[in-house]
A = this chain, B = another copy of it.
Amino acid sequence: MKATLLLETALKHFAEEGYEGASLSKIAEEVGIKKPSIYAHYKSKDDLFMSALHYSMESQKTQMASYFNLSRHQPLDKVLSGYFHWFAKETDENVQMKFIIRTAYFPPLKLEKEVGQLFDPFLDDMHRHLTRLLRERERHQKVLYEDDYSKAALAFLTIAEGTMTELVYSGQEQYEKRFEAIWPIFWRGLAL
């Protein structure tokens, strides 16, 4: 399926060079077709970009749901800390996550609105998963903000994003160091 290959190649280029930096010629070249052939599959660069974004986010959403499902019998601290490692390992060489993060933080100005409309439900989804997780565990593991689990979920998301970003930015090794530095503090501060 050339269409999927095209999408995945495009998303790699968008992740590494940004919307403006990525060139349709180079993408086509890597796929092994000519530039105008792209238009047989997508009606514009914007269309290709938004399709790649949609594709990445769906894929990440699926992975996230599957992680929470797999780890549902683990103790809370394992679920939470494992969540980091899961993403670090499972994220297809981190290209998808890199693309998502780059686009979330620095969207192409002309697509800012559309991008936002895709992202808001995505973040809500993550937040909701975490909030529900914390509530489900309240009988076995008390945490800070017992009256407002969404607040604890937000705190977790913050350090997740901090370390994720580091993963994208300076690679696995620095990421491991950060994780080891932050996790004991976080868990010690969260658990009651």
Contacts and interface: CB of A to CB of B under 8 A. Distances in A.
Interface of A: 16-21, 102, 104-106, 108-109, 144-145, 151-152, 154-155, 157-163, 165-166, 168-169, 177-178, 180-182, 184-190
Given A154-B182, A189-B189, 16 more contacts: A16-B109, A18-B18, A104-B169, A105-B168, A144-B184, A151-B181, A152-B185, A158-B182, A159-B159, A184-B189, A185-B190, A186-B186, A186-B189, A187-B189, A188-B188, A189-B190
A103 to B, nearest CB: 10
A75 to B, nearest CB: 18
A162 B108 CA distance: 22
Contacts of A145: 181
A7 to B, nearest CB: 21
Contact of A17 (B20, B162, B177, B187): B20
